[in-house]
Structure 1
């Protein structure tokens, strides 16, 4: 505004310069002539002086107003965390002597995902946890083959009248499961197993709607960074693929070829069951870890809380993470998380083959540490003439071998968790680990003990539905503790680091 005001006064500047030049360069004769114009010149000079005073006053008021506004924005304002955040900060605000030796150029801060997104993801992961447990109960009650069709839209409604129920029951009577096992059940018995499978499918649809609709909302509000939006879109596609995979699994138990196979049992393919359960585990771990990471990044950017430590500088965070013992602990934690995941998948093969109904004793199997080798690798499971597939087919299709493998993996997982927990109790590593990491490895070890007890009880009591369902839920809880442990050992995201640096810079500017 001030340069514009001054630019609009060329006449005033020109007149002033001309009068001063004449007064300075005039001869004695011209001074006599100028004396008659002196009052006019003095009046002009007074006008110029008055204008300069006005401009100086306006400049002072502008500086005062700017300083007042700056003082109002010294404190951390959560409103900056939005899709419209385009705060251009100076290099002083973006630089952090603790993490970088060079200054950062002024630029817009990246989008920092707000906590509501984290709450939505954690709620979605809780629904996935529920559908895993309900799916396990559905399998244990042999209800999974009661619905013989897949209707993604209209299938959300159960049969509404007697005629609809009779039609659904007639379709079930044509399945191998009814002909070989449930040929004596009544319509009321059919309704019981039908509602179990229907509830599982409806819960899966609710997960899809509860994920896709908020995803579209948050993406339209531009509160999701581009990389996060891409990953969440992949999760949405995976949820849709999970529904198709579930029907592909159910379809394997409805094939008429089971009626012609000697010794066949009407059940779904253990391969498809493991794929279906494994996909659910991936979805759960992805949603849970992303939600927890968003919350930890937000706390770090807002108040410097990280890993249970409060008001920590960036340098302290990097120093802890770069400690050789912590890096080694993190590497072992990742390996243990993978082992937990593989052990859970092996449980899917046990469930698919009903292998838990064999050798209901522990720790021995038929009075021995391991069954005979000819039973573990029976030639009856080889399908090629040369028997070259005997190894992998026994590993995945022989119930005895599948149970033995699951036992070995479970024992290995338990002792690995115990070893990692004991390592975290050593004074040097205990002092270096963040408090949250110490809590999570303790929780993982406690959950591993509970899971072992549930697994042994399920085996000894011939796989009762309540114990078996709790055992499957325990595998998800153990995976949860390990995922949370990995999140507690991660570095805050790039966006959180920049926001934290900007906050520290504003505090330094306020104190100076």
Structure 2
């Protein structure tokens, strides 16, 4: 039941705005990685870092900090100040958007709490989502710091995966909470949806695919071939696999990572189709959303590889990946809502 002052629909709409901002941040983060911009800001200043360099001297100081790390000599040696400003733009935009999301979440949350507009049982969920957002920022800095260590010229693909997956997990949690709140607005006696077996199984399969998508970006594994369905004339990169230990090959070899991401997509497709069929009698729109997103995502993945990973196409692939997470959460919620009502 919701108290008389509760405003579940308003809170749901606010959460949708936050979700849209997270999708934008995922895309900007992808571009930041693809343009080798992530290490252009070498310090983490949560407050003072909001203000970018304004004078020529400040820009020179930032550029000097960047020239001190190993990535500069290995990848961007000889770049001009103007070129540095280009990569700085993407990392600064990514961090600024993260701060903005934090404010857009925190300030309305406090306002809703003061007005006693949060329905019973939802305050802890919203606080947990806020905490996940803060954790996401910390993971982002740990990712950047991994690339600032001596001998490193890019960030750890493990931290990149943690950073991305946390963002998408937070996104799915926000969408789930918003859907619960919209249901509550329609029916004051509605209970939160439950995660069913098919929803959980699909989520786990999709999680593996997302982790390997992050590994693809971190290891630049998309560049090992521009062929599909074979990888440089071979179905399986046996030579690369044999030259590593099992664990090293599965998690660190670009060819093997590419192979897993390429073919695990079809496992994810199978589970997503089953989920879409389950949800169709309950919410046909969620079924359509899954089919549309996963079909587009697979085609974009193939096109990105065959086009040799152009930034715009890879960013679009990452955008649709985030939309697929939303569609999956939507469908899993609808199936769980049906079960909770029976």
Do these two structures clear the TM 0.5 threshold for a shared fold by scoring above it? yes
Mapped pair 1:396 → 2:261? no
**Are the structure 2 counterparts of residues 368 and 156 from structure 1 closer, same or farther at C-alpha, using a change threshold of 3 Å?**
same
Shift of 1:335: 1.6
* Distance in 1 between residues matched to 2:243 and 2:247, nearest whole Å: 11
Shift of 1:492: 7.9
1:81-480 alignment, distance < 5 Å = 81-83=3-5, 113-258=7-152, 266-301=153-188, 331-372=197-238, 374-379=239-244, 390-421=245-276, 423=277, 433-434=281-282, 436=283, 438-480=284-326
The C-alpha deviation readout for 1:425-462, integer Å capped at 9, x for no partner, is xxxx96xx22x1x3312321121111111000000011
Between stretches 239-248 and 219-228, larger displacement belongs to 219-228
TM-score normalised by L of structure 2: 0.92
**Are the structure 2 counterparts of residues 446 and 402 from structure 1 closer, same or farther at C-alpha, using a change threshold of 3 Å?**
same
* Distance in 1 between residues matched to 2:16 and 2:69, nearest whole Å: 39
Asked which structure has the greater CA Rg, the reply is 1
* Contact preservation (8 Å) 1:118, 1:292: yes
* Distance in 2 between residues matched to 1:420 and 1:116, nearest whole Å: 29
**Are the structure 2 counterparts of residues 127 and 493 from structure 1 closer, same or farther at C-alpha, using a change threshold of 3 Å?**
farther
The C-alpha deviation readout for 1:230-250, integer Å capped at 9, x for no partner, is 121122122122112111101
* Contact preservation (8 Å) 1:359, 1:366: yes
Aligned to 1:489, the other structure's residue is in SS state helix
Which ranges of 4 or more aligned residues in structure 1 deviate by more than 4 Å? none
- Match for residue 483 of structure 1? 329
Between stretches 395-404 and 217-226, larger displacement belongs to 217-226
* Contact preservation (8 Å) 1:297, 1:493: no
TM-score normalised by L of structure 1: 0.62
* Distance in 1 between residues matched to 2:59 and 2:42, nearest whole Å: 13
Shift of 1:81: 4.8
**Are the structure 2 counterparts of residues 440 and 493 from structure 1 closer, same or farther at C-alpha, using a change threshold of 3 Å?**
closer
The C-alpha deviation readout for 1:7-51, integer Å capped at 9, x for no partner, is xxxxxxxxxxxxxxxxxxxxxxxxxxxxxxxxxxxxxxxxxxxxx
Structure 1: which 5+ runs fail to align? Answer: 1-79, 84-111, 259-265, 307-313, 315-320, 322-326, 380-389, 498-512
Structure 2: which 5+ runs fail to align? Answer: none
Over the aligned positions, Cα root-mean-square deviation in angstroms equals 2.5
* Contact preservation (8 Å) 1:343, 1:406: yes
Aligned to 1:227, the other structure's residue is in SS state coil
The C-alpha deviation readout for 1:122-181, integer Å capped at 9, x for no partner, is 111111111111000111111111111110000000011111111111111111111112
* Distance in 1 between residues matched to 2:65 and 2:37, nearest whole Å: 14
**Are the structure 2 counterparts of residues 492 and 367 from structure 1 closer, same or farther at C-alpha, using a change threshold of 3 Å?**
closer
Shift of 1:211: 0.7
* Contact preservation (8 Å) 1:81, 1:114: no
Greater length-normalized contact order (CA 8 Å, ≥ 6 residues apart):
2
